[in-house]
């Protein structure tokens, strides 16, 4: 680990470390994640496309990596920044070390970075573009790469991560059939749906409403995903039409934002977003507080919230909207990740709520 590396932010701030992955340079939006565990799930979450992840947990890689904790078939994050990477793995489930995994994936990452100072900087000045450069370091070039990165505002990244063709997940002989719009879906979400004894079909993000209806779904899930929700106009238009059919609908993270936009609400970019597995969320109906996993840089705006939407959950960090429901059709959305991959499992009950909604639709 003697290869030098540097992270340069668009505002000119820089942080020196060492390369622990592939050699080269990469640019993206720099965000910090406060989860204590689950680095493998975070790196392989398609929602992190185009982002350079700063892990605030100081030791990363202790338990290695394994095939069962993959949230997709590869790393989707653009880069990673760590205080210290463990070069060995100590866990009975480990199949590889994190560092070997990063190199096999040709993934650019830094260790020995002062992540505490970096996180303070991002909290003060907001998430911003950055460039990781390893090997032959040129600060001026890295700074230019960071400044030239266009950011996520107005960018549709869903088409980069969605499946190219439909596929099934889990047992297909179950009573209820759920169709999942893949905007960057995580495997943990599919597993949670499968555990409800539901047949699950995953379809590409561009699938037409006519094709969805022809599958005769008992429920529809709008999945998580990356980028600016307002840029996904094709998805917003499809959701508007699907809501007319009154098919029970559950929307997660990006899907939640798309449901809001299809309902007439607006979304906005956050200063540094919510990324972690320790975020307190309050149910506005019961006042119950749950700890949740969150990963989003956009949020549903409070301005001009349409009357067809009720706010069901709020973040206790900043009071932003964390959950919505339609008043005129069986549809609800949650801003966080109820599948808890990684994170606490308290909000997996939302999947049971979805199943109950489906069962009530038969009455």
HSE on the CB side for 80, CA within 13 Å? 32
Contacts of 127 by beta carbon, 8 Å cutoff, 6+ apart: 29, 30, 31, 270, 271, 272, 273, 297
Quick one: the chain helix, strand, coil %, rounded to 5? Answer: 25, 35, 40
Residue 228 confidence (pLDDT): 98
What average pLDDT does this structure show over 57-85?
97
Number of C-beta neighbours around residue 149 at 10 A? 21
Residue 50 has pLDDT above 60, yes or no: yes
C-alpha dihedral, 222 to 242 to 300 to 343, nearest 10°: -20
Q: Lowest mean pLDDT: which of 202-211, 212-221, 353-362?
A: 353-362
The reply to whether 192 belongs to the active site is no
Q: What mean pLDDT comes out for the span 216-244?
A: 98
Question: pLDDT grade, residue 363 (50/70/90)?
Answer: low
Average pLDDT across the chain, whole number = 96
pLDDT tens string 326-346: 999 999 999 999 998 899 999
Residue with tokens 């005129």: 328
Residue 337 falls in the annotated catalytic set: yes
Q: Is the pLDDT of residue 133 over 70?
A: yes
Interval 1-15 mean pLDDT: 93
pTM of the model: 0.97
Burial of 231 (0-12, 13-18, 19+ CB in 10 A): middle
Euclidean distance between CA atoms 157 and 147, whole angstroms = 20
Determine which one of 41, 121, 253, 256 is catalytic.
253
Q: Is 359 a catalytic residue?
A: no
What is the biggest distance separating any 2 CA atoms in the chain, rounded to whole angstroms? 66
pLDDT band at 15 (very low <50, low <70, confident <90, very high): very high
Digit-coded pLDDT (tens) for 271-320 = 999 999 999 999 999 999 999 999 999 999 999 999 999 999 999 999 99
What is the per-residue pLDDT across 52-63, written as a single tens digit (0 to 9) for each?
A: 999 999 999 999
Q: Is 338 left (phi over 0), alpha (psi -120 to 50) or beta?
A: alpha
Tens digit of each residue's pLDDT (9 = 90 or more) over 188-211: 999 999 999 899 999 999 999 999
Query: Quick check: bond before 342 cis, omega within 30?
Result: yes
Domains defined along the chain, listed by start: 4-148 (3.50.30.20), 158-360 (3.40.50.880)
Mean pLDDT for the stretch of residues 29-38: 96
For residue 321 the two structure tokens come to: 């909207």
pLDDT at residue 308, rounded to an integer = 98
Query: Nearest CA to 39 among 3, 92, 86, 7?
Result: 86
From 176, 274, 296, 337, active-site residue: 337
Confidence (pLDDT) at 171: 76
């Amino acid at each position: 680990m003697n290869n030098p590396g540097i992270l340069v932010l668009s505002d000119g701030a820089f942080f020196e470390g060492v390369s622990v992955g592939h050699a080269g340079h990469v640019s993206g939006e720099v965000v910090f994640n406060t989860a204590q565990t689950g680095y493998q799930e975070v790196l392989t979450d398609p929602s992190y496309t185009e982002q350079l992840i700063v892990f605030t947990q100081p030791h990363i890689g202790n338990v290695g990596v394994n095939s069962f904790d993959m949230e997709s078939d590869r790393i989707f994050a653009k880069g990673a920044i760590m205080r210290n990477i463990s070069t060995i793995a100590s866990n009975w489930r480990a199949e590889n070390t994190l560092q070997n995994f990063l190199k096999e994936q040709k993934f650019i990452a830094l260790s020995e970075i002062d992540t505490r100072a970096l996180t303070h900087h991002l909290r003060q000045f907001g998430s911003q573009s950055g460039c990781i450069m390893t090997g032959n370091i040129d600060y001026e070039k890295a700074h230019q790469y960071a400044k030239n990165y266009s950011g996520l505002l107005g960018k549709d990244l869903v088409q980069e991560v969605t499946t190219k063709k439909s596929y099934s997940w889990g047992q297909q002989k179950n009573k209820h059939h759920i169709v999942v719009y893949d905007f960057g879906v995580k495997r943990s979400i599919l597993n949670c749906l499968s555990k409800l004894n539901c047949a699950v079909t995953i379809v590409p993000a561009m699938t037409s409403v006519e094709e969805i209806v022809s599958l005769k779904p008992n429920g529809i899930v709008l999945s998580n995903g990356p980028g600016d929700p307002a840029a996904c106009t094709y998805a917003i238009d499809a959701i508007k039409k699907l809501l007319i059919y009154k098919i029970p609908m559950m929307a997660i993270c990006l899907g939640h934002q798309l449901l809001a936009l299809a309902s007439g609400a607006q979304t906005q970019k956050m200063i540094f977003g919510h990324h972690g597995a320790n975020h307190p969320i309050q149910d506005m109906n019961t006042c119950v507080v749950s700890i949740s996993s969150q990963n989003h840089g956009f949020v549903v705006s409070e301005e001009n919230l349409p009357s067809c939407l009720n706010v069901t959950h709020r973040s206790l960090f900043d009071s932003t909207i964390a959950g919505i429901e339609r008043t005129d059709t069986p549809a609800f959305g949650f801003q966080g990740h109820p599948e808890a991959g990684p994170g606490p499992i308290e909000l997996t009950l939302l999947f049971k709520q979805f199943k109950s909604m489906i069962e009530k639709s038969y009455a």
